[in-house]
Chain A
């Protein structure tokens, strides 16, 4: 791909680095988020290898629900990158549709996660049950909060677009929201196998 349709659309000033300030700021924020999740994941790995019986006698997670959620998040990554392409080309109606799909898919992810939580809680499996479930609730809880944050941001973008305030000069907002959403997707790409497949 020689030319990106997602080339810098930012109205931000910059330019010593050649990168719009808001975009560089978002990447630095994501770098700090990487450190946050890496801390949690590294703790999980250390605990995982320190315990021969894992996850314990309380049972495993439902691999198929986890897989469904992974496909949902992967789908939402595609819809948000399509939304960005549309907003940059000032195709507002199509952009809004893709953004709405992203919000719906993110919400579906949270609904399924809530369903999983309910199943476990009904069986008396809580964070204090054992170290695996403690890790599970911590990792998926923080990730779920990030998904919720992404949904709220996308809703805000949708409202801006409906009010006619997300034209090509403002499309950088969609780009920043997209970067965050993709990051949340990437975190799940590692959480899913570690919690559900190993």
Chain B
């Protein structure tokens, strides 16, 4: 039990390290002389990775029932659908 607790504690710290590292990378990428759209996509990719780390390890989705993952992911799928609909609309100038 003590080993399990210790391992989990260590893992939480590792995850924080990854989150902080990805955060620093995002700031670094924002300073690069790249096309704004490319920078936006890269940084949003990092943000998605950070959100996944928080959800999987800090919110324990990794070891929880899959139903909870479905509850978490379902609204995201709806959002993607909504954004695609908006993006394809002739009424919205993107």
A67 to B30, CA, bound (A): 12
Q: Which of A34, A71, A189 contacts B76 (CB under 8 A)?
A: A34
Is A128 positioned at the interface, with any CB of B under 8 Å from its CB?
Answer: no
Q: Which of B4, B40, B68 contacts A19 (CB under 8 A)?
A: B68
A3 to B36, CA, bound (A): 43
State the main secondary structure of chain A at its contact with B.
helix
Cross-chain contact B4 with A77 (CB below 8 angstroms): no
Cross-chain contact A5 with B8 (CB below 8 angstroms): yes
The answer to whether residues A78 and B12 also contact, given A34-B76, A63-B30 and a CB cut-off of 8 A, is yes
B2 to chain A, nearest CB (A): 9
A7 to B1, CA, bound (A): 13
A178 to B42, CA, bound (A): 29
Which residues 92-149 of A sit at the B interface, judged by CB distance below 8 A?
A: none
A6 to B9, CA, bound (A): 11
Cross-chain contact A186 with B78 (CB below 8 angstroms): no
A3 to B62, CA, bound (A): 11
The answer to whether residues A198 and B39 also contact, given A5-B4, A30-B72, A74-B16 and a CB cut-off of 8 A, is yes
B interface list, Cβ under 8 A from A: 4-5, 7-9, 11-13, 15-16, 19-20, 23, 26-27, 30, 36, 39-40, 43-44, 46-47, 50-51, 54-55, 58-60, 62-65, 67-68, 71-72, 74-76, 78-79, 82-83, 86, 92-94
The 3 A-B residue pairs whose C-beta atoms are closest, nearest first, are A197-B30, A34-B75, A38-B79
Given A71-B23, A85-B5, A85-B9, 11 other A-B residues pairs in contact with their CB atoms under 8 A: A42-B83, A46-B86, A46-B92, A70-B23, A77-B16, A78-B15, A85-B12, A182-B55, A189-B47, A197-B26, A198-B30
